[in-house]
Amino acid sequence: MPSGFGWVFDYASELWLPEPASVVTKSKVATGQVIAGAHKLYWIACSPDSTGSEFELSDDTDGSTANVYCHFDSDKHSEHLSLSPPMQFSTGIYVKKFDKIKCLHFGYI
């Protein structure tokens, strides 16, 4: 294992990888592409408009493939959803469903 702080073991590749010091953030207020290409999603901040809010993500650039992440909220509380380990997207991050939500914020590299 490498010495120092900020290293995580990636079981998929069986390698030690450095944790990022920062992530790119992007906000969405509707369905659509967050970012194209291969990326790791570290967190999502969700601000619902009302109870029963939900969103869905797919790993593509147009929302045509199966959902890879779904979230439903029965209350109206904002949440910071940490993904540990980060979620790997190979084609792109796409918001497929966006119901009763004010905004979503994504942290990725």
Average pLDDT for consecutive 10-residue bins of the chain (109 residues)? 69 85 94 97 95 96 97 91 93 97 97
pLDDT value for 11: 83
- The CATH code of domain 22-108 reads 2.60.120
Quote the pLDDT of residue 19: 82
At residue 10, the pLDDT reads: 82
- Delimit the domains of the chain by residue range: 22-108
Per the CB < 8 A criterion, the answer to whether 41 and 85 are in contact is no
Structure confidence at residue 5 (pLDDT): 66
At 17 the pLDDT is 83
DSSP letter at 14?
A: T
Residue with tokens 């993500």: 57
Q: Which residues of 44-63 are buried (b: 16+ CB within 10 A; e: fewer)?
A: bbbbbeeeebbbbbbbbbeb
Write down the pTM of the prediction: 0.87
Q: The tokens 């380990």 sit on which residue?
A: 85
